[in-house]
Amino acid sequence: MATASKSETEFPGPGPANAAGAARLRVNEIFYSLQGESRTVGLPTVFVRLSGCPLRCGYCDTKYAFQGGEWMSLEDISVRVARYRPRYVTVTGGEPLAQRPSTALLERLCDAGYEVSLETSGALDISAVDKRVSVVMDIKTPGSGEEARNIYANMAHIDANDQIKFVICDRTDYEWSRTKLHDLGLPGRCEILFSPSHGAVTPTELADWILADHLPVRMQVQLHKLLWGDSPGH
Ligand code: SF4
């Protein structure tokens, strides 16, 4: 089991404080769109995409978020989010937890009354995440190239409000994920999401495998890719 070391993350620390000493985060983009995945798929949602990720999954479609972005205070992020008057807010990346103040942002968004979710790789410790947040945590399959980064100790913090996601690249990944479901005792414990890796497995193939095995999982396709392709801002 490997963990992300500080040297592997682009923005591992608290980030430079602003003149008032407030924590800041490196933000790649903030946008309003339809949720493309997860239990709230199709619902209008504000996305806060933080910059940086210590992983390099083969299928990554947000490489543009590995570097760059703008330093913003938690207050400035909150103001930008509020402009959209959303019910749902998703903090995503990159890997949001690679920037330590992300947990304070999540708490602040919950306090503001939003239904907040966090998309995380499963390679960083989630124990400090506010329990009001629905954690959408990957378990990295062999096909991702990052299987060794899974921190299975995170499972101790997963409950019915959370969602575990497997991105399936081929039949081997599917069978590996099917085994993990049961090894980790996931059915009945949290939402389980199976997604076909775009361009690697067809949605139809994955759907047929799930039905043949009567798996208790939610099959999902990436709605935002059907609507807008890979363009940022969606
Ligand atoms: S964890 Fe997510 S953002 Fe990071 S490389 Fe993998 S797919 Fe991309």
The CA 172 to ligand 1 mean position distance, Å, reads 20
How far is Cα 43 from Cα 37, in angstroms, rounded to an integer? 10
**Cβ atoms of residues 50 and 92 within 8 Å:** yes
How many whole angstroms separate alpha carbon 156 and alpha carbon 85? 34
Q: Which residues pair with 27 in a beta bridge?
A: 50, 70
Give the pLDDT score at 226.
84
Domains, the chain, ranges and CATH? Answer: 23-227 (3.20.20.70)
Pocket test for ligand 1, best of 3, 9, 37, 57 (most atoms within 8 A of CB): 57
**Of 13 and 179, which is predicted with more confidence?**
179
The CB density around residue 137, as the number of other CB atoms within 10 Å, is 26
Phi, psi of 168 (to 5 degrees): -100, 120
Q: What is the pTM of this model?
A: 0.91
pLDDT, position 22: 77
pLDDT at residue 21, rounded to an integer: 61
* 3-class state of residue 153 by DSSP: helix
Counting residues of the chain whose pLDDT is more than 70, the rounded percentage is 91
**Does residue 28's CB lie within 6 angstroms of at least one atom of ligand 1?**
no
Q: How far apart are CA 16 and CA 53, in angstroms?
A: 18
